[in-house]
Structure 1
């Protein structure tokens, strides 16, 4: 029974991805006055889906290797390590989030007095 529900979830996710990619391709096609075939959208969908699966497997492996059951930002940064621009963007976002949390924690302690 769990297999059927997992398959249903997978199919729903793939459908949502197809819709999102189709919308992006349509928007760009209109903007550039070009056409894209359904076969192109399907191929792009499969390519993106495969990339998502590979990223998920890698993130789970990094997490498991570190002895954790939860994927963290450290795992994501490790995954992005070979793409310096992507790494820098993710690192900036992570650093800003950590700074915001630290600032919030400090402000919360000050009000408790």
Structure 2
């Protein structure tokens, strides 16, 4: 019974993801004056879903390795370590949330 509920939840989440990606693709294709097929949106949705699954598994593994049951900011930062641009954006966001900016600001 629990497996059936999980499958239903997964279907609902994929449908919501497909809808959201479809809206974004529609907006962008209108701006660019091009068309996107439903197959493209479906393939993009599957690719994003696979990335979400990989990311969630990695985050879960990082937190378990650290002996925690909850995913922390450190786990997310560890995940972003291979994407310098993403890491910079996330670090800036974390610093802002903590109420300070740890990077030195150069004066002109």
With the length of structure 1 as denominator, give the TM-score of the two structures: 0.85
Residue pairs, 1:1-113, within 5 angstroms: 1-99=1-99
- Classify the secondary structure of the residue corresponding to 1:69: coil
Q: CA RMSD in A?
A: 1.0
Deviation of 1:43 after TM superposition, in Å, equals 0.5
Tell me, which stretches of 5 or more residues in structure 2 are unaligned? 101-108
CA distance in 2, matches of 1:42, 1:11: 13
Residue deviations 1:22-71 (CA, integer Å, cap 9, x gap): 00111111111111001111100000000000000000000000000000
CA distance in 2, matches of 1:82, 1:29: 30
Where does residue 103 of structure 2 map in the other structure?
Answer: none
CA distance in 2, matches of 1:12, 1:82: 31
Q: Which has the larger radius of gyration?
A: 1
Deviation of 1:98 after TM superposition, in Å, equals 1.7
- The structure in which a higher percent of residues are helix is 1
Tell me, which stretches of 5 or more residues in structure 1 are unaligned? 101-113
CA distance in 2, matches of 1:10, 1:36: 25
With the length of structure 2 as denominator, give the TM-score of the two structures: 0.89
